[in-house]
Structure 1
Amino acid sequence: MSPGDEPGYGDTSHGEDRGYGGSGQTRTRLPDRTGDVYGGARRGRGSSSRSLVTVVGVVVLLIAAIAFANRGGDDSSSGNGDGDKARTSPTAASGDRPVDTQTSGIPSGYAHNAQGAQSAAANYGVALGSTGMFNTGQRHAIVAAVYAPDVAAARQADVDKAYSSEKFLTNIGLKKDGSAPAGQTFVSRIVPVGTKVTSSSADSATVELWYTSLFGLSGEGSRNPVSESWYTTTYQLKWINEDWKVTDFTQKDGPVPVGRDQRASTADDMTKAVEEYGGFTYAR
C-alpha cells in the first residue's frame, strides 16, 4: 500500500461532522453568483413577476424530487435482492446491520454479497484515512485488519516508510513521531458519501467509494489548517477467511461540489468538534 489512499498525502493543502440547527423551517437560498458556476452564460435581470415564477418553479421541482426519492426508497425495500435495491434507489440504505464484530477497532465480519462488499469498502476507507495511520502500532493493526494477509505482509514495510518519512511529516506539520505540535490537534478523517459496485463475482468485488476528507492541524498558529477535499477510491476486494479484504486500490479526485459561501470556523470550534463528534459504522 502507498499513502495515496490517505487524504492529504503529498498535498499540504488538504483539510467532520457538521451539526445543523434552526427553527425547523426550510429555506431555499439562491446563489449570489454573477454567472453560472458550471460554465453557462450569465443571464440578465428579468421582471419581479418572472423571478417569482422562477422561485415557485424551483420549490415545486424540489418537492417533486423529494416525493420521487421517497417513492424510490419505498420501492427498493420490496426488491428481491441487492441488485434490485441498487437499481431502484442507488442512494438509499438497505436498512440491514452491516456487522456485529470488530477487528482492532475496525468493523469486520461482512455479509458475503455485494452489499457486504460496499459496507466493507466504506469502513475500510475510514480506517485507512484516519490519524491512526500516523502511529506505528495503530498503523500495523489497521493494515492487518483491512488488507488480505499476503498483501499486508508484502506492503507493510512500504507503508511504514511512507508514513514515517520525516520530510512528509514535516510538510504536513507533524513531529517526527507523527504527533501534533503542542496546542494543536491533528485531523485526518474521511466521510463516505456513497459506494458503487462496478463488478462482482462470488468471491471478488470492485467497489468505488466516493468521500470527502478533512485533513490538517487545528489550533492557533497552524500552517496547515483543516481543509476539505473530495476523492473517489476504487477498491479491489476478495472474500478471504470469511470476510472481505482489500487487495488493491486506485484513487482519483472528485466529483467535487461547488463550495458554499460559509465562513470558516475558528480553530477552537474545529478542535472541539473533532474531539466531541465521533464517527460511524457505515452500511450499504
Structure 2
Amino acid sequence: MTPGDEHDYGESTRSDEGQGYGRTRLRLPENDPYGGARRSGRSSSRSLVPVVGVVVVLIAAIAFANRGGDDSSSTSATGSTGTKPDAKSTAATGTKPVRSTTGGIPSGFAHTQQGAQSAAANYAVALGSTGMFRTDSRHALVDTVYTTTAAAKLQGAMDQAYSADFLAKMGLDADGNAPQGDTFVSRVVPVGTTPRAYSATTAEVAVWYLGLIGMSGTSSTDPVTSSWKTWTFDLQWTDGDWKIVSDQQKDGPAPVPGDDRAATSDEISKAIEEFGGFTYAR
C-alpha cells in the first residue's frame, strides 16, 4: 500500500477497493536504513523500487474486477460551492462519529452528510491498515466496509493480487507477517474530508490523507516512507449504515517536504507500537 504511486486499486474510473502505495528509493547509511538521513527541501530525482511494478499489476487486477459497477447518481452536496471554508466547517460538532464497531471497524454511522464523511474517513483508515495484507482479516474488512455486491466482486481478485510473490516483495511472508524483529508499517492518516455529492441514499466523499508504508527494522532495505493522496468514496446507505460502492485515488495535494531528521528504525518501531489510531468524526 506509498509515495510516488497510488494507494488504491482503482484507475481514473471508480473501483471497489483501496490499497497500493508505490515507493521511492532513499540513499541511507549502511548501518541503519533510517539512521540520521535528512530530507532536503529540494528533492532530487529518485528511482522507483521494484515493488512499484507489482503494485501496478495489483491496481490493474482490482480495477478489472470492478468494471461495470453501480451507475447510480447522487445529487449535489449542499454547501459544496468550491469557496474557501469558514471556521464553522472545521469546528468540532460534538456529534459522536459512531455508535458501535463491527470486527473492530467503526460502524453505525449517522444517516447524515456528516455521517457519510465520518464513514469515509474511518474506512480509509481500515483499508490502509496492515490487516489488508493477511487473507482472513482482509476478507472480513472488505465484507464490512463494502456493499455485498462490491465485496463479492473484490475478494477473488484481491486474493490473486495479494499473492505470496507480492507479499515477498513487500518483505512479508506468505501469511502477511513481517520477519522476526522487524515491524511492517501501513497506515492512512486522514487530514480532512469533503462531500462531493449527497442524497438520502448515496454520497460521494473525498478524504485527503497522509499514508505511511514500509518495513522498520535494522536489516530493512525498504524503510517507512510517506505519501499524500486524495481518496474518493462512492457510498450507499444500506442496511442502516454507509457502505462503499466504489472508490478511486489520486496523488496529492502534497505539501513541500520539511528538513526533519529521519528517525531510526528503532524509533519508528517504537512509535508504531505506542501510538494507536483514531476513530474519526467530521
| TM-score > 0.5 by shorter chain | yes
- Separation in 2, partners of 1:125, 1:33: 29
- Separation in 2, partners of 1:260, 1:92: 27
- Separation in 2, partners of 1:262, 1:212: 16
> For residue 56 of structure 2, what is the aligned residue in structure 1?
none
1:87 Cα deviation after fit: 5.7
Whether the 8 Å contact between 1:233 and 1:249 is mirrored in structure 2 is: yes
How many residues were matched structurally?
Answer: 217
> For residue 112 of structure 1, what is the aligned residue in structure 2?
111
Whether the 8 Å contact between 1:189 and 1:215 is mirrored in structure 2 is: yes
Alignment of structure 1 residues 45-64 onto 2, 5 Å: none
Unaligned runs of 5+ in 1: 16-31, 35-81
> For residue 136 of structure 1, what is the aligned residue in structure 2?
135
1:159 Cα deviation after fit: 1.5
1:186 and 2:197 aligned = no
1:7 Cα deviation after fit: 4.4
- Separation in 1, partners of 2:23, 2:171: 9
> For residue 271 of structure 1, what is the aligned residue in structure 2?
269
Structure with greater helix percent: 1
| AA partner of residue 19 (structure 2) | E
Q: Which one of the candidate residues 252, 256, 260 is aligned to 2:258?
A: 260
1:182 Cα deviation after fit: 1.9
Whether the 8 Å contact between 1:185 and 1:217 is mirrored in structure 2 is: yes
Alignment of structure 1 residues 89-108 onto 2, 5 Å: 89-108=88-107
Distance 1:210 1:126, change over 3 A: same
Distance 1:120 1:126, change over 3 A: same
Identity between Structure 1 and Structure 2 (%): 52
| AA partner of residue 184 (structure 1) | D
| AA partner of residue 12 (structure 1) | R
Structure 2 SS opposite 1:236: strand
> For residue 23 of structure 2, what is the aligned residue in structure 1?
12
Which string of whole-angstrom CA distances, capped at 9 and with x for unpartnered residues, describes residues 79-137 of structure 1?
xxx859x7653333322101120011000000001000000000000000000011111
Alignment of structure 1 residues 225-244 onto 2, 5 Å: 225-244=223-242
Which string of whole-angstrom CA distances, capped at 9 and with x for unpartnered residues, describes residues 130-177 of structure 1?
0001111111110011000111112111112112x2332222221222
Q: Which one of the candidate residues 230, 249, 252 is aligned to 1:251?
A: 249
Which string of whole-angstrom CA distances, capped at 9 and with x for unpartnered residues, describes residues 17-63 of structure 1?
xxxxxxxxxxxxxxx979xxxxxxxxxxxxxxxxxxxxxxxxxxxxx
Whether the 8 Å contact between 1:205 and 1:238 is mirrored in structure 2 is: yes
Whether the 8 Å contact between 1:218 and 1:270 is mirrored in structure 2 is: yes
> For residue 68 of structure 2, what is the aligned residue in structure 1?
none
Alignment of structure 1 residues 71-82 onto 2, 5 Å: none
1:221 Cα deviation after fit: 1.4
Deviates more, 1:197-206 or 1:87-96: 87-96
- Separation in 2, partners of 1:281, 1:152: 23
- Separation in 2, partners of 1:227, 1:196: 26
Unaligned runs of 5+ in 2: 1-7, 11-16, 27-39, 43-77
Which structure carries more relative contact order (alpha carbon 8 Å, separation 6+)? Answer: 2
Whether the 8 Å contact between 2:41 and 2:258 is mirrored in structure 1 is: no
Q: TM-score, normalised by structure 2?
A: 0.72
- Separation in 2, partners of 1:175, 1:12: 19
> For residue 281 of structure 2, what is the aligned residue in structure 1?
283
- Separation in 2, partners of 1:264, 1:162: 32
- Separation in 1, partners of 2:192, 2:175: 33
- Separation in 1, partners of 2:253, 2:41: 21
- Separation in 2, partners of 1:14, 1:91: 36
- Separation in 2, partners of 1:134, 1:217: 13
Q: Which one of the candidate residues 212, 217, 220 is aligned to 1:219?
A: 217
| Larger-Rg structure | 1
Q: TM-score, normalised by structure 1?
A: 0.71
- RMSD of aligned Cα (Å): 2.3
Structure 2 SS opposite 1:157: helix
- Separation in 1, partners of 2:41, 2:116: 41
Whether the 8 Å contact between 1:146 and 1:246 is mirrored in structure 2 is: yes
Distance 1:14 1:172, change over 3 A: farther
> For residue 172 of structure 2, what is the aligned residue in structure 1?
174
- Separation in 2, partners of 1:153, 1:209: 24
